[in-house]
Amino acid sequence: MDTIKVRILTSDEYPLWDDLVEISPSGTIFHTSPWIVTAGNAAGFKTELLGAFHNDQLVGGCAIHSYRRGGIFTSVKTTVPLTPYGGIIMQPHESTKIREREKDEWIIIHSLISEIQNKKPDLISFTMSPQVIDVRPYIWQGWEDTIHYCYIFPISGTTLEQHISKNARRSIKKAEKSGIVVSQKWDKDIYWDLTLNTYLKQGKKPKFSQKSLFSLIDKIRNAQWGDMWIAETASGEAASAEILIWDRHMAYRWSAASHNDYSDTGSTSLLVFDIMTYLQKKGIGKYNMMAANTPHLAQFIASFNPELVPYYSVQKVGRVLRILNTMRSIFK
């Protein structure tokens, strides 16, 4: 695989892209064209799908979102708010020989990042899915790498009550005794109110707009990609809520929110447990519970005894922005 041609895909070619996502080892729901287009438009970014072709066959690709930071610096990213994973996808390699497989994969990666770098953006940033473990091709091209973590729970074949910790079981029983009721329910307004309260108790504002959140919620519901679950008090007040989505690899705890007034009710523990029970009945093998990069969230999720799994981001900072960042660090 010596000759790779890279070009922007037309919208008519998006089904071809989605076929590649379906077979790619690193392809997720977040790589599909409907998700990419919806998330990019909601965030106000310019979104393009770059395809890598070998003998007129689509063998790899990368979705990119472009925007100007402060109206001056151009950034190119593979993820936008509410999209946790992106990066390059490739067709599975037929060879079992490591050297041959790596050579072909690196040619595809180099071709795609060269095409992006030729546009001379000030910042290029990729966040990979957990299935990607090799970021050497980027490092060897002078990119910086960062390791992140997520929690993945083994749904399939697990006796849930025995697997989770005593603290989690205790919180679940507390919620049940206090009359917390968990149900599948689509209510965007309740979810937004809980989201605002979640950020308020941290002294922050959401990193995404109501419009962005609602656009993706509508897409998830209409495409039947997932469900919204809400835990309510005995009096009918929303205590916590979560939105989960799924693909062929696993389910994802895409978004979660809770009300500070009911933080000690155990509602979120019961909510998570009921969702796990639902996913087990649905036949989904793994549940990506996210939340491993924030201390207080990690402590809560760890009580369910998931597996800690690394994933990576890489970035290339342009010369002007690199100098500016250096000056900022000097004069802090």
Same structural domain for residues 222 and 280?
yes
Same structural domain for residues 157 and 304?
yes
pLDDT at 330: 64
pLDDT at 95: 79
pLDDT at 19: 98
Instruction: Give the pLDDT band of residue 73 (cuts 50, 70, 90).
Output: confident
How many domains would you assign to the chain? Answer: 2
pLDDT, tens digit (0-9, with 9 covering 90-100), for 218-256: 999 999 999 999 999 999 999 999 999 999 999 999 999
Q: Output the domain CATH number for residue 14.
A: 3.40.630.30
| Rg from Cα positions in the chain | 21
Minimum mean pLDDT range among 185-189, 267-271, 319-323: 319-323
pLDDT at 325: 64
Q: What is the pTM of this model?
A: 0.93
Domain span at residue 180? 151-310
Residues 6+ apart with CB under 8 A from 10: none
Same structural domain for residues 253 and 206?
yes
pLDDT at 323: 62
Instruction: Give the pLDDT band of residue 13 (cuts 50, 70, 90).
Output: very high
Residue 111: is its pLDDT beyond 90?
yes
Same structural domain for residues 58 and 91?
yes
The whole-angstrom separation of Cα 220 and Cα 128 is: 21
Phi, psi dihedrals of residue 306, rounded to the nearest 5°: -85, 180
Same structural domain for residues 174 and 228?
yes
Q: Strand 238-246 vs strand 57-69: parallel, antiparallel, or unpaired? A: unpaired
Residue located via tokens 């072909």: 104
Minimum mean pLDDT range among 146-150, 160-164, 200-204, 312-316: 200-204
Mean pLDDT of the chain: 93
Q: What residues does 8 pair with on adjacent strands?
A: 50
The whole-angstrom separation of Cα 259 and Cα 152 is: 25
